Amino acid sequence: MKQQYFILVLAHSMHGRLRRVQIPHRVVYLILGLAVAGCFSVIGAISSYARMAWKVADYNSLRQEISALRQRYQKLQSEKEETHAQLANLQLLASEISMVYGLKQLLEGPSDISQEGSLLPTVQQSIEEYDLLRTANLTRYPRRSARFWQVNTYPSMWPVEGTLRGYFGNRTDPFSGEGAFHRGVDISAPTGTPVRAAADGYVVQAQFISGYGRTVIIDHGNGLQTLYAHLSSFAVVPGQEIRQGEMIGAVGSSGRATAPHLHYEVRRQGRAENPIRYMGRTQTAARRDFPF
């Protein structure tokens, strides 16, 4: 059987010659098949490139959003720290003004309210009370002889009624998940539980400290200090003389804290020591969980 074919006629424009070229059917079909396959390949390549370009654009958009969110988070963290510091300073100022107001009443006696034009102090009165506050530590709280208050300078008292949860030494940081050295002990207690001075001394600091939150530091003499952190409020002011067992603040979760508790440290010559060596066994709740 003779093979079927197409005839392609070629004519020369100058000489008028005709030339016939026989092309088999299968060759034509093969060429058409290759052309269709090439079209599909080109379309597939264009589609793949378009998808890749769309994914790259979406990835870049997500990166920009993440960067913007990270910057916003850092800004909010900074504003939060500033707000905590401002609140701590305002609370400290309020406590100091309340203390000064009580001192003035004690020194001047009760005033006749009926003779006052207003129950609210004037700006000048507020300034005078603040000035009095600045010198209250020297004029109203004169330091007594060391022999008088050094009777109870050993911090043997538990600063708060609660359960001992965190111990002194190496541990896993609850925020970073990495190893860290814990400079004190953590005593779990509800928010607002009174925190008391572990020994006699003078208040060195009562302010917001980054990480520690609202913090009170008491100097007991001979290079010995105690630190009380994560408080919810203050009950003392810097320079105030304090006695063992007197309230200095309340339990809270300010600073880097996951739950209400007291972070308690004992420092000698600036170095943190294990508070367990000093703390007595006077708390029933603490004694139940204490590892002796």
* CA distance linking residue 274 with residue 264, whole number of Å: 10
* CA distance linking residue 181 with residue 7, whole number of Å: 93
Q: What is the pTM of this model?
A: 0.48
* Amino acid 236: pLDDT: 93
Task: Write down the architecture of domain 144-289 according to CATH.
Answer: Distorted Sandwich (2.70)
**Residue 29 burial (10 A CB sphere; 0-12, 13-18, 19+):** exposed
pLDDT digits (tens, 9 = 90+) for 47-73: 888 888 888 888 888 888 888 888 888
pLDDT of 106 above 60: no
pLDDT digits (tens, 9 = 90+) for 161-196: 988 887 887 776 666 666 678 788 999 999 999 999
pLDDT digits (tens, 9 = 90+) for 200-218: 999 999 999 888 999 999 9
- 107's tokens: 């020194």
CA neighbor of 233 nearest in space, from 250, 253, 212: 250
- Confidence class of residue 126 from pLDDT cuts 50, 70 and 90? low
Q: Where are the domains of the chain?
A: 5-62, 144-289
**Cβ-Cβ contacts under 8 Å for 280 (sequence gap 6 or more):** 156, 157, 158
- 257, amino acid identity: A
| 13-20 mean pLDDT | 70
Residues 221/175, Cβ–Cβ less than 8 Å? no
